Structure 1
Amino acid sequence: MVSVVVLGSPVVAARSSGPRNGRASGLSASVGLRAGSPNKSGSLSSPVVAARSSGPRNGLCSGVRASESLRTRSPNKSGSLSSPVVATRSSGPRNGRASGLSASESLRAGSPNKSGSLGSPVVATRSSGPRNGLCSGVSASESLRAGSPNKSGSLSSPVVATRSSGPRNGLCSGVSASESLRTGSPN
């Protein structure tokens, strides 16, 4: 059963159960992820958007040790978080990358990737291939912003991505007025 949670503007991701579609591993539906807000293990540093709500790594990205804080330039198992990087992976071929990002892409605010620039609240972009954990209908040339308003309400999740340019600025392509931010629901 899919839980429905309306997430506020700074909130970037949450999940309830099932596959971790484009989400940080171990996030529960009850977690509202806000940059700079306290979590069970302390505070998230300003650019950090991912946290876990249970288990030994409370408040940390999956694969980050409990003694580590998600802060700019602080080490995690796969290296450093770049300055406002919002997601990293600790294992597999895309270390330090969000799921679906290629090894040549960095999650940096304002820095170019293959498809343009990432804005400050951006969580993930894609270059080509499957839309791994990203907004259905968003093309490779679009920059994905999280937590932006859309024309008619909220974005459908587990997508935390919206468009940052063109006539649907801040919109997830194909999101209708009846959709709201859902945790763990397919897009």
Structure 2
Amino acid sequence: MPLSVLTPPSPALRSVRAALKSPTAVRGFRTLTPTSGAGPAGVTDPLPVHVLDGVGPGDGPPRAALGGWRFHLAAEGRVVAAAEARITPDGWAFSHFSEGPYVASAQRALRQAESLPAVLQPRLLSVPELYMVTLWLRPDAGAAAEPDGIDPADLLVPLAPAPPGIRAHRAHRAGDLLPALRDRLAAARLLGSSA
């Protein structure tokens, strides 16, 4: 079924489009440099990016704070990179471009999600302490970009590369995956404090 994609804030989208037109911003990104008159990269697949918080022992239900919007960038008919806009005290601003495995993995996960038998709302969930990103699929297609929490029934699809022991591109119920992440984070913090 088609995904119910949220509409990004106009200033976030404008900041990314302006960066794409800037020779300084795209310098070093071979995939964003137009070749043989192909034109600039097009902006597609807007996804709110949330950062997982509150998954430690005794932290209560996990929370996810809206940290930005990621846009996939297509050139010559395929997604080649991503661009991110972040909220600042002055409003939305371009943050960075990225290439690499998460771009292709996110595209794959989005195509997988479209084959599921329900209308789902896609977003990204970042777990910085584990160097992990998941496609977060909410069954509430009308939910706002700024969630009040992660529902145990939500689906999380880890993107590749996923941390050891967590299978990429497999849909997990949040209620099943988040306790495993809580255990991993507790172990990582314990190792970090003993160093």
| Structure with greater strand percent | 2
| Structure with greater helix percent | 2
The two structures share one fold, judged by TM-score above 0.5: no
